[in-house]
Each structure stands twice: as structure tokens, then as C-alpha cells.
């Protein structure tokens, strides 16, 4: 089935050209190339598909001198700004310009020579000189006898995608730089606290202060990766805070999901867990050879007042150690959690401390 | 605290390199606390001079020294001399591939100074067992 519709006549078609059914250039191409190329119903499909697709498509004939374009659909003309008579008969290189990457062009030439399929991004230029990033897919088309008859090129303007990618990369680099600076700043603060303690003769107190500051730093670190969200993944913060107390990763077990909270809650939680870990090293499960700790976190409470519930469960501790742990508790954890409108309940079981921590969950940063 | 010595009579000298004076001060104290003699350097030039003029037992090297400099040259020199060192850095990911490949022990910042020093002295303790 052939249609001899005269070449592009904008006034004859609906306004939304991308969705008109027939593309005159497709019909014309078919008229010139005959049914042997596009037989039967597939010919109609070709016309309709070429007209409707928003993907710019062209066919080049490698059997003609300089591999000219023999067909370009409406989307191709729309993308490049050229009319059909300015496209057909020319080699694709008229889309290149001063900033087109030569190494990419070399890859294209190699792919054409080897009859390979290739997907590349290259800088092309519209008729008005405006550059755009073209995601070019090219590949060979063979006839029924296996003879190479065309190269297909499909083009998609990915300028926006690339700009978004660049923005994202920039944001990532910035977050990384911030993270680096913050770690350095916490290291400097730690240094100041330490040497102040030393010259004042209060090393132990300074160490206690510094350990808390560093625990806070580790909890904070996790916020930088997705600072735009304004919330922290609770489990990530817990792992970061407790990492130094289990250098081999064999003593502390983590059980929880991707629960998120605002940083104010996480800082108190982080510091509380730090205190529990320090106690466990002095008197509890982390101070024995075989003891271990399981930490589980989950969302708790009602829909109206959600909370984070953390279970701290020590294993492998004798009853004697428990008594000491009770004595050593200076109440700072209770006070911190109280201040955050949460709380802690401790129970001593035969194999160690079990503490239930509770703190209001604020999922949305203010 | 047990005192570590390079040999029976020689004190154990530890090179500490960091472009941040306050961290350097903290590490200096921690090295003293461990019973060793700290030799501090704020930049590459100072560090290389110390390495050339002293018998060093161990070293703590800040990786990024500002203005695009890294401790790579010092680390190479120490590695060639068989002196153990730790790489003390705030950004393990960004660390130069070249520095990473040197094979020193990595200690992330911030780590308490006493721990950093303990990690730096670990190879010496093993050597003396």
C-alpha cells in the first residue's frame, strides 16, 4: 500500500504534528523504496510509527557515496530544525559542530565500519546553531538476503538529563566536601578537649567528654549523605555510633529497618547508645570474652504520637556484672531521654541487661 | 602504660604529620603518653627533614595536607626504609589512589588520639614479642 502525499505541508495536518498519523516523508520514502523493503501491513505500520514517535529517527544508505541520509522522520526534523530537503542526501555529520567530541566521532566511524550497534552521547547542533546533547543509537539494518542496506540512527535530546546529572554530581561532591570538613572539625574539637584535659590534669573527664562528642559526630555523619531530606536513617546512625565498640563486627547485632527520624531525636539516641556501650565495656557484655549485644529498633506508638523503640539486649553476662552496671549508671542516659520526652526501662536478666529505650519519632524535619 | 622503645637504649621516635596544629598537639601528647618521643611536622618539607635526620620507629600521617598536597612522598620514603605508618584521614573514599596503594594502615578521622597512636605502635609491639 502506497501513499503519495506531497512532502510536508503543515497547513494540511492537525496542529500537534507529533501525533498526526501520517508522516509524508515516510510515505515518500516508501514510495521510492518500494514494497520489497516494507511489505504489506508492515509498510503502514512503518508510516504510522515514524509519524507518531517522538524519537528522532533517520536511515542512512551505506551503499551510496558518503552514506547519505535517505529518510528522516518528523521528530528528526523537529529536533534538528532542518527541513526535509536540507536533510535527505546529506551525511549525518552536518549535525556536528566545534565542540563535538572527536573521540566519540571516531567510535561512531569504527561502529559503522564494523557494522556494530553503538549508543553514545555526543554534542550536536541544531540549524540555528544551538547545541544539544544527543543520545545517539545507531545500528545496521540488513535485508532478507543478509545484505547491509541501511544504518538506523535514533536520536534523543538528553541535554536536560545531562544537566540534572551534573547538578546531582555537584551536590554529591559538595556533600562529600562537607562531610570531610565536618570530620576534620570533630577531630580538631577532640584534640582541644584532650589537651585541655591533659594540661588541667583531668584526662579522664576530658576523655569522657570527648567520647560523647565523637559519638555525636558519628551520628551526625550519616545525615550528610542525604542532607536534602532533613531526616536521618535511624539504623545507619546507630551503626555509626556503635562501630568503634565492635571493631571486628562480631559482638553487636543490628536488627531494624530503614526507619527515619529527624536529627534531634537521633542525637539523643546516639548518645544514649554510646553510654550503654561504654557501660557494657566496663561492666557488661562487651567487657567479657564471649558476650554480645543485640540492638533492635522499630517504629512504635500510635499514629498520632509515633515513637522509636530500641531494645538493647546483652548476652553472656553473669549476675555479678549486673550489680556493678547498676551502680555505675550515673543517670545521664535517663536525663537525656527524659529531656527528649522519651525514656528508658532497664531489666536485669540472667544473661545481662535488657534496656528498652523510647523516644518520640519526628519523621519530618521542621 | 608499657613503654615502647626502638631498642634497649634508643627511645622510640614517632613522626606525626598533620597540617592542623590542634590535632598535632593532641597526637603529640598521646605519643608522649605512650612512652615515645613525638617528632611533629606541619607539612611535607618538615616531615621529610625529620625522616632524613632521625631514626624513626613509626609514623602517623595525615593524608591530605591542604593545597592539594598529600603525604604520599613521606609514606613512600618510610615504606622504602621499612618504617611502619598509619594513614590518618577524614576521607577514605577520596584518598588518592596512589596513597591508598601504598598499603599503610588506615585510621579514619576522627579517632581518639590514644587509639591512633596505639594503631601506629602495633607493628612495633608485635616485633618485640
Domains and CATH numbers, chain A: 10-161 (3.30.450.20), 165-360 (3.30.565.10)
pLDDT in tens, B22-62: 889 999 999 999 999 999 999 999 999 999 999 999 999 99
**CATH 3.40.630.10, applies to B13-128:** no
Pick B123 or B14 by higher pLDDT: B14
Q: pLDDT tens for residues A79-116?
A: 999 999 999 999 999 999 999 999 999 999 999 999 99
Q: What is the pTM of this model?
A: 0.62
Kindly provide the b/e burial profile for residues A46-80, where b requires at least 16 CB atoms within 10 angstroms of the residue's own CB. bbeebbbeeebbbbbbbeeeebebbbbbbbbbebb
In chain B, domain spans: 13-128
Phi, psi of A255 (to 5 degrees): -130, 110
Of B91, B108, B110, the CB nearest to A190: B110
User: pLDDT digits over A186-228, tens only?
Assistant: 889 998 998 899 889 998 999 889 999 988 888 887 766 666 6
Q: What is the mean pLDDT of residues A297-312?
A: 89
- pLDDT at residue A51 in the model: 80
Residue-level pLDDT at A242: 92
Give the minimum alpha-carbon distance from B6 to chain A in angstroms, rounded to a whole number: 26
- pLDDT tens sequence across A247-279: 888 999 999 988 888 777 778 888 999 999 998
The alpha carbon of residue A339 is apart from the nearest alpha carbon of chain B, in Å, by: 28
Q: Which three cell numbers stand for residue A278?
A: 561504654
Q: Do A198 and B29 touch (CB under 8 A)?
A: yes
A197 touches chain B (CB under 8 A): no
User: How far is C-alpha A10 from the chain's CA centre?
Assistant: 43
Residues of A in contact with B22 (CB under 8 A): 188, 191-192, 195
- d(C-alpha B129, C-alpha B126), whole Å: 5
ipTM reported for the complex surpasses 0.95: no
Say yes or no for a CB contact (<8 Å) between A187 and B29.
Answer: no
Strands B85-89 and B58-62: parallel
Is the pLDDT confidence value at A316 over 90? no
Q: Are B71 and B61 in contact (CB under 8 A)?
A: yes
Q: Does A183 touch chain B (CB under 8 A)?
A: yes
Mean pLDDT value of segment B99-120: 84
Judge: B112–A188 Cβ closer than 8 Å, yes or no.
Answer: no
**Distance from the B85 Cα atom to the nearest Cα atom in chain A, whole angstroms:** 19
The residue assigned the cell 542512512 is A60
Query: Alpha helices, DSSP H only, in A201-331?
Result: 203-225, 234-242, 263-282, 319-328
B94–A180 C-beta distance less than 8 A: yes
pLDDT surpasses 60 at A143: yes
- Where helices occur in A98-233 by DSSP H, the ranges are 102-114, 159-200, 203-225
Measured distance CA(A119)–CA(A124) in Å, rounded: 15
Amino acid at each position: 500500500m502506497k501513499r503519495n502525499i506531497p512532502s510536508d505541508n503543515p497547513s494540511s495536518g492537525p496542529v500537534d504534528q507529533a501525533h498526526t498519523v501520517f508522516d509524508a516523508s515516510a510515505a515518500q520514502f516508501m514510495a521510492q523504496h518500494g514494497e520489497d523493503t516494507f511489505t504489506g501491513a508492515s509498510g503502514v505500520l512503518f508510516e504510522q510509527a515514524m509519524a507518531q514517535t517522538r524519537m528522532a529517527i533517520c536511515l542512512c544508505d551505506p551503499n551510496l557515496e558518503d552514506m547519505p541520509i535517505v529518510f528522516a522522520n518528523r521528530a528528526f526534523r523537529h529536533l534538528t530544525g532542518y527541513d526535509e530537503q536540507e536533510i535527505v542526501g546529506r551525511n549525518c555529520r552536518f549535525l556536528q559542530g566545534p565542540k563535538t567530541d572527536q573521540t566519540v566521532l571516531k567510535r561512531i566511524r569504527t561502529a559503522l565500519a564494523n557494522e556494530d550497534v553503538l549508543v553514545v552521547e555526543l554534542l550536536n547542533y541544531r540549524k540555528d546553531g544551538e547545541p544539544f546533547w544527543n543520545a545517539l543509537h545507531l545500528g545496521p539494518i540488513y535485508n532478507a538476503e543478509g545484505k547491509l542496506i541501511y544504518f538506523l540512527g535514533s536520536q534523543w535530546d538528553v541535554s536536560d538529563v545531562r544537566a540534572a546529572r551534573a547538578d546531582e554530581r555537584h551536590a554529591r561532591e559538595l556533600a562529600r566536601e562537607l562531610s570531610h570538613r565536618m570530620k576534620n572539625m570533630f577531630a580538631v574539637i577532640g584534640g582541644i578537649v584532650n589537651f585541655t584535659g591533659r594540661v588541667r590534669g583531668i584526662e579522664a573527664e576530658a576523655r569522657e567528654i570527648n567520647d560523647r562528642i565523637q559519638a555525636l559526630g558519628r551520628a551526625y555523619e550519616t545525615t550528610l549523605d542525604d542532607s536534602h531530606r532533613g531526616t536521618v536513617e535511624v539504623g545507619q546512625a546507630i551503626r555509626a555510633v556503635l562501630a568503634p565498640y565492635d571493631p571486628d563486627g562480631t559482638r553487636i547485632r543490628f536488627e531494624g529497618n530503614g526507619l527515619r527520624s529527624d536529627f534531634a531525636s537521633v542525637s539523643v539516641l546516639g548518645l544514649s547508645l554510646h553510654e550503654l556501650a561504654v557501660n557494657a565495656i566496663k561492666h557488661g557484655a562487651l567487657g567479657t570474652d564471649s558476650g554480645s549485644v543485640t540492638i533492635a529498633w522499630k517504629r512504635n506508638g500510635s499514629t498520632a504520637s509515633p515513637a522509636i523503640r530500641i531494645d538493647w539486649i546483652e548476652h553472656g553476662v553473669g549476675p555479678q556484672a549486673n550489680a556493678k552496671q547498676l551502680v555505675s549508671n550515673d543517670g545521664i542516659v535517663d536525663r537525656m531521654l527524659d529531656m527528649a520526652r522519651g525514656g528508658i526501662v532497664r531489666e536485669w536478666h540472667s544473661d545481662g541487661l535488657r534496656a528498652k529505650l523510647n523516644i518520640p519519632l519526628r519523621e519530618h524535619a521542621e | 602504660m608499657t613503654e615502647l622503645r626502638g631498642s634497649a637504649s634508643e627511645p622510640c621516635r614517632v613522626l606525626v604529620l598533620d597540617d592542623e596544629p590542634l590535632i598535632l598537639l593532641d597526637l603529640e601528647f598521646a605519643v608522649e603518653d605512650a612512652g615515645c618521643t613525638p617528632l611533629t611536622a606541619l607539612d611535607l618539607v618538615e616531615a621529610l627533614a625529620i625522616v632524613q635526620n632521625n631514626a624513626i620507629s613509626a609514623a602517623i600521617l595525615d593524608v591530605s595536607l591542604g593545597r592539594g598536597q598529600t603525604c604520599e612522598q613521606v609514606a613512600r620514603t618510610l615504606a622504602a626504609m621499612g618504617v611502619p605508618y598509619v594513614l590518618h584521614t577524614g576521607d577514605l573514599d577520596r584518598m588518592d589512589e596512589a596513597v591508598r596503594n601504598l598499603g599503610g594502615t588506615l585510621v579514619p578521622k576522627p579517632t581518639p588520639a590514644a587509639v591512633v597512636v596505639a594503631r601506629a605502635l602495633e607493628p612495633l609491639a608485635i616485633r618485640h614479642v
